[in-house]
Structure 1
């Protein structure tokens, strides 16, 4: 048995697949999210579970749990290209988590590691901004960088002092609002595209907005940014006093929002020690920095400098369908084995490589007549399953409990029910008539194809995400896909129980690695390790 640690363990899909081989003993897991941690603990009772991997002392872990042979895990990695603009982060904080994963490998020196991630990770799109810590890798030509522009402020909002403010931590601290204040104002700024929605948001946030606005309008300094703040917050107060129309607000609050975004990005540059080569202000305010691909960084840190140093690495995008999952889920898998053990590493090939693939029916048809519940509280004792014949191979494997938990759905609103009834298998929101699309999304044309998707029984599903948010529809029933059905599509057996609120459970399922795929990866790794170690 290989002693294993799972970092960023989520609900435990990767751990489950590794444990199912009976060749890996998961000693320790790290998971920051409390609901996921609860689920992990419930399903892996023998594992020591900790929270923030950034606090991990790996020397102590070794001392307490013995040498760690294998590190597994899927560090969240958005890279800056996918940074969450809604939260106004220019530099995704998740970058540091990939670095934590690498730190674990460098400090624990395991025999092997497996990292799973979004398929985009191997592309050039997923990049890190160059920070002080990594200058050495660049200067020694281990890693290639590209010049990158980080836009801090658009030309139409430029003012003379902007370039000096963003270079001073003192000035940034002086002008930056509390996060709560920014989020409140940003909510109404974003809602301003749709007048009906805008008025509703203004009404819902009234008390908080008045309180914030009164606080900010007390600052009486003759200063460009503070003046913009005053205009914005006075506009809010004027609206509630009936002095201006809702339609006038956007233009009055926009400059202040833009200056806060600039300040927030400038603060992140300091907090993340980003190397800025120069600032330019001739076409708006830009920080000229350098970036590099995340995967290049990973290889540079782990491949070592000679034949006996570091890890032999194999990496590719694998499709869950090829390993027997009934969904088209692509994951980027990196497998590494220490070069002093072997210099050759291979990823597994799926048993279903050439099809036919397993389908939605294989996974969930046997639950078609099992009535779901609406609340987590109604799921306490689960649902007793009646014996069933003619089960697919997959259903026989997954149906490993006489009690069915997590067969929970959201209540269907009259509007949703009308839409469900209008959709055939394989159709989605875009298939609905124009009348049925009204009062839903701000920009109907930009609605994703996964929204209101009625699954097709005779095909694998698309990638399981948070199916509550996507409002996936059951192939034959006019209702949402349940948490348990989504878990089946991910190949979680029925004995694996999810914890937390309904939305948290849907989220955990959507974020997971299909255990069936994890098991194939684990099996391949164990075989290679055993073969190489037996020759030593």
Structure 2
């Protein structure tokens, strides 16, 4: 019988990563989050009292009391590295990936997992940052490899690509990278389409699926066209239409207003034979429609909180605290639970087989 593994959770947010790691049999002994509402959400779902709502810098002195925990995991804020952000290496938030390693140095876990945007794992621009990160990890005695994963391959109905820096104490296993890659491969599970995922929630405005985003959907006067009806920008705001027969694009932390993605409700529930957006796009392309409408038809509507949470694979009974805006932010910021679970299971299997 393998003993229960323990972990320190950093930049915890609403706890999406924790849900996944807990499902893999890991017990979180300390969690830290700066945003008050996210910490409240965590406590509402994890009444064990391990959450410390504070700036991580204030916790660095005392965190050594958790030395000997098996894992340190978390997703430091990524705006400094994000293609969607300003990509500024001097952004204070960009330094938090190194603060993560400060905690690793004090806790000395057997392994660590740090999640971040794909750009940090792939872009040439960030090669010096990646190298610095791996060099520090190596100095601390960890062999570290970045793995870029796509959430859709891990039972998440969302085209969300993220990098997971996985570090293991000591580097006497020459096959570490290959072994972890194979273990991650074992965890792959195709995600349902958005229609399959959301169908059972009930329509927006029903008891099980309250309508939580009232931002109007209006037409762009000067639409930017793309081949796909789901890729152009022909509605105002950054909230794009979702193809319910496929997967959602990455849900942003800026949801709640007109940056919230939207669906065709009638098409989602099979009451219409075609997505309204497809016909509108076709009309714009062939010139039979000119963009002069003020507001889109009511069958187009924004994702609800419950739908966004389900797309991020939170349990349906997960309790979120704060205003609607805060809740959308917590959901968008989260690491999808199913994706985290897959990574955690791969790590647990590795640690159990190489203890």
TM-score range, shorter chain: 0.7 to 0.9
Distance 2:147 2:343 in 1: 12
In the alignment, which residue of structure 1 is the partner of 2:161? 330
Within the candidate set 455, 460, 474, 2:242 is matched to 455
2:136 is the alignment partner of 1:301: yes
What is the aligned residue count?
A: 305
Larger radius of gyration: 1
The DSSP-based 3-state class of the residue aligned with 1:474 is strand
Distance 2:89 2:184 in 1: 38
Higher mean C-alpha deviation, range 358-367 or range 336-345: 336-345
In the alignment, which residue of structure 2 is the partner of 1:16? 19
Post-superposition shift, 1:3?
1.6
From the superposition, tell whether residues 5 and 528 of structure 1 become closer, same or farther in structure 2 (CA, over 3 Å). same
Stretches of structure 2 that go unaligned for 5 or more consecutive residues are: 221-227, 266-298
Post-superposition shift, 1:66?
5.9
From the superposition, tell whether residues 427 and 18 of structure 1 become closer, same or farther in structure 2 (CA, over 3 Å). same
From the superposition, tell whether residues 530 and 47 of structure 1 become closer, same or farther in structure 2 (CA, over 3 Å). farther
Does the CA contact (< 8 Å) of 1:467 and 1:486 recur in 2? no
Post-superposition shift, 1:430?
4.5
2:170 is the alignment partner of 1:339: yes
Distance 2:83 2:28 in 1: 32
- What is the TM-score with the length of structure 2 in the denominator? 0.76
Distance 1:41 1:356 in 2: 31
Distance 1:486 1:470 in 2: 13
Distance 2:63 2:118 in 1: 31
- After superposition, give the CA deviation of every residue in 1:202-239 in whole Å (9 maximum; x if it has no partner): xxxxxxxxxxxxxxxxxxxxxxxxxxxxxxxxxxxxxx
- After superposition, give the CA deviation of every residue in 1:139-175 in whole Å (9 maximum; x if it has no partner): xxxxxxxxxxxxxxxxxxxxxxxxxxxxxxxxxxxxx
**How large is the Cα RMSD of the aligned pairs?**
2.9
Within the candidate set 4, 7, 30, 1:4 is matched to 7
Distance 2:308 2:84 in 1: 27
More strand by share: 2
From the superposition, tell whether residues 496 and 109 of structure 1 become closer, same or farther in structure 2 (CA, over 3 Å). same
2:304 is the alignment partner of 1:482: yes
In the alignment, which residue of structure 1 is the partner of 2:353? 531
Does the CA contact (< 8 Å) of 1:7 and 1:74 recur in 2? yes
- After superposition, give the CA deviation of every residue in 1:6-64 in whole Å (9 maximum; x if it has no partner): 11111111111000122x11011111111111111111111422211111135x3343x
Distance 1:456 1:352 in 2: 26
2:112 is the alignment partner of 1:113: yes
Post-superposition shift, 1:77?
3.5
Does the CA contact (< 8 Å) of 2:152 and 2:190 recur in 1? no
Stretches of structure 1 that go unaligned for 5 or more consecutive residues are: 128-291, 373-382, 386-403, 420-425, 442-450
2:298 is the alignment partner of 1:464: no
Does the CA contact (< 8 Å) of 1:417 and 1:478 recur in 2? no
